[in-house]
Amino acid sequence: MDHIHSNTIEDVRTPGRHLSLEERGMIQALHRQGLSLRNIAAAVGCAHTTVIYELRRGTPDRKSKHGRAPQYMAKRGQKAYAENRKSSRKPCKIDHDDCELFIQWMVERVRQERWSLDACVGYARRNKLFTPEQIPCTKTLYNMLWANKLPLSLFEVPQVLKHKRRRKWVRKNKRMKGRSIEERPAVVDDGTEMGHWEVDTVVGRRAGREEVVFTAVEKVTRNYIAIRIPGRTCAGVEAALAQLQERYGAEYFSQIFKTMTADNGPEFENLSQFENLGTKIYFTHPYSSWERAQNERHNGLLRDFIPKGMSMERFSDEDILNMADTLNQRPRRVLGYHTPSELFDAFLDEVYASECVS
């Protein structure tokens, strides 16, 4: 009698699953009893053709006409199966000499420019730097990276070690600094209009008061701005925005920075006052960094240059700007393997041209 909590109930065999050693033992016992192929298949729970092929694999060749005919053995069938599995996968493209030039170019991009493997593949294909046969697919490259068959280590491609799923939740019991993100126009998330930004600050050494980095990312072009400011204060943020006005022109500021979305950090206490420049300011829910996902992602990329706990005093203003420029020169899959700099420069050209016409 079967019991709910006992192990006497036999599992139903999943169709398409490979035979196990126990199932091969069943085939051996039933075959020696003289059952037909279809009856054996019904007992094991597989197709009768599976039984035919298994009997062929596990039965040794007859060496002479004399003596008893060789019989199927489960262990022999399991051994043949294991040997066949070793060569069941397709050979990897980069094992061929044709890919050597691409591999050398890719390694140089990864080490010098910190590109991802996918960015290398997409950029090379878009610009036809190599023939199609010379460029392996992204999946192949990552498989070979994990198999230690590339001249790169996992630590040289840090993106593969950072994938984590975080729980998204909203906490509303803290006062916001200004207009809620819930009031932000839908066009900001549609990705059809440029000029919408997410802003934040990146802290170096948390103990003590020292410089931090004000960061902003444009949601469509993914253009990233990083400016070192005196501290994580309102005055520091005001200094960063003053630099942006000087860089892009105060008269064009509201065209380039249509909206800004910040968190509820103390440094953004007075950010809403910049609405007098024509820029709409919105604030995310407290403890909801995922509502500024693109800015958080880019700040993580900046951490490749400035690890957590490292003092900002080790870097000059020029160093911080160069880090942002390096990120903006990386091709992105979401941008069709164009770089953020290419698309943002085109956006600026449109803004300045429209003002000249008007």
- Span 254-299, pLDDT tens digits: 999 999 999 988 899 999 988 998 999 999 988 888 899 999 999 9
Q: Is residue 349 part of a domain?
A: yes
pLDDT at 173: 46
Are residues 75 and 109 located together in one domain of the fold?
no
The DSSP annotation for 72-88 comes to --HHHHHHHHHHHHHT-
* Phi then psi dihedrals of residue 216, to 5 deg: -150, 140
Q: Which residues contact 209 (CB under 8 A, 6 or more apart)?
A: 231
Q: Does residue 258 fall inside a structural domain? A: yes
Among 125, 160, 195, the domain-final residue is: 160
Residues 195 and 318 in one domain: yes
Which residues on adjacent β-strands are paired with residue 283?
A: 180, 262
Residue 213 in any domain: the answer is yes
**Statement to judge: residues 227 and 329 lie in one domain:** yes
How many Cβ atoms are within 10 Å of 169's Cβ, its own excluded?
9
Task: Kindly give the pairing relationship between strand 280-283 and strand 196-203.
Answer: unpaired
- Domain CATH code at residue 255: 3.30.420.10
- Residues 347, 217 share a domain: yes
Contact indicator for 93, 46 with CB cutoff of 8 Å: no
Helix extents (H) in the chain: 21-32, 37-44, 48-58, 74-86, 100-113, 117-126, 138-146, 187-190, 234-248, 253-256, 293-302, 317-328, 340-357
The answer to whether residues 194 and 268 belong to one domain is yes
Residues 234 and 347 in one domain: yes
Q: How many domains does the chain have?
A: 3
* Residue 30 placed within a domain: yes
In a domain, 259, yes or no: yes
CA nearest to 146, candidates 135, 154, 136: 154
Q: Does 334 fall in a domain?
A: yes
Q: Report the C-alpha gap between 319 and 324 in whole angstroms.
A: 9
**Co-location of 268 and 300 in the same domain:** yes
Other C-beta atoms lying within 10 Å of the C-beta of residue 197: 25
Distance in angstroms (rounded) separating the CA atoms of residues 135 and 317? 38
Same domain, 206 and 341: yes
Are 155 and 76 contained in the same domain? Answer: no
Q: Are residues 271 and 139 part of one domain?
A: no
Q: What is the predicted pLDDT for the residue at 204? A: 85
Distances in whole angstroms, Cα of residue 209 to Cα of each of 99, 129, 180, 270: 51, 48, 29, 20
Is position 15 within any domain?
no
In the predicted model, residues of the chain with pLDDT beneath 50 are: 1-2, 6, 9, 173
Residue with tokens 């469509």: 220
| Domain span holding position 342 | 181-354
* Same-domain check for residues 124 and 77: no
Q: pLDDT of 198-241, one tens digit each?
A: 999 999 876 557 889 999 999 999 999 999 998 899 999 999 99
CA quadruple 170, 172, 176, 181: dihedral, nearest 10: 40
Cβ pair 100, 106 in contact under 8 A: no
> Could you tell me if 318 and 219 lie in one domain?
yes
Would residue 6 count as lying in a domain?
A: no
